């Protein structure tokens, strides 16, 4: 094997390894930042994420076959690393999904109540009854970003609304 085969593979394995090793460290960071879980939401099984990590490492292993060009080897390894990062974010959602005393974790980035500038639906609608039947909510952050929180069901949405309305106005 020559350097054109080994170099992308070694870098790919190192990238996948660093993402996988960082998962517990990032989990601890989010746990400290979020505080105590007030309302856990439906969380998924972590088995799919573990299998996905394995598939990403196997994808990087494809570059060791030596039948691909250097550029394609680099692309295959980068795809494996990207897949590991996407899987890590999915694992965070499965592990931490819920409402916490310091914020909410529905999609990947943890949203602190202090980072929320406004929730337009609360300004437009007169009551919680007007929000019935919805499964997503738009949030405007202090930095101007708009984030859409997507919930799995109307029931989950209706459980979170009271926590969001009181958490933002602390």
Kindly list the domain boundaries of the chain, sorted by start residue. 3-97, 103-168
Each residue of 109-165: pLDDT tens digit? 788 888 888 887 766 655 556 667 778 888 888 888 898 888 888 888 888 888 887
10 Å CB burial of residue 7 (0-12, 13-18, 19+) is middle
pLDDT > 70 in the chain, percent: 90
Q: Is 154 helix (H, G, I), strand (E, B) or coil?
A: helix
Asked whether the beta carbons of 103 and 37 are under 8 A apart, the reply is: no
User: How many Å apart are CA 123 and CA 57, to the nearest integer?
Assistant: 47
* Segments in 35-153 forming alpha helices (H): 47-61, 70-96, 120-124
Phi, psi at 66, each rounded to 5°: 80, 5
Each residue of 67-98: pLDDT tens digit? 888 899 999 999 999 999 999 888 888 888 88
Q: DSSP secondary-structure letter at 88?
A: H
pTM: 0.76
pLDDT beyond 60 at 168: no
């Amino acid at each position: 094997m020559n350097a054109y085969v080994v170099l992308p593979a070694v870098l790919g394995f190192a990238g996948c390894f660093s993402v996988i090793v960082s998962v517990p460290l990032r989990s601890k960071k989010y746990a400290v930042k979020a505080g105590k879980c007030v309302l856990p939401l439906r969380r998924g099984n972590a088995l799919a994420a573990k299998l996905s990590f394995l598939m990403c490492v196997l994808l990087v292993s494809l570059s060791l076959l030596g039948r691909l060009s250097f550029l394609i080897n680099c692309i295959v390894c980068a795809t494996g690393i990207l897949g590991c990062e996407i899987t890590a974010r999915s694992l965070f959602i499965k592990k931490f999904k819920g409402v916490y005393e310091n914020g909410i974790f529905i999609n990947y980035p943890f949203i602190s109540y202090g980072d929320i500038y406004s929730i337009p639906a609360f300004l437009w609608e007169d009551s919680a009854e007007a929000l019935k039947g919805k499964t997503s909510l738009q949030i405007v952050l202090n930095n101007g970003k708009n984030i859409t929180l997507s919930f799995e069901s109307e029931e989950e949405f209706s459980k979170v609304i009271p926590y969001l309305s009181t958490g933002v106005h602390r």
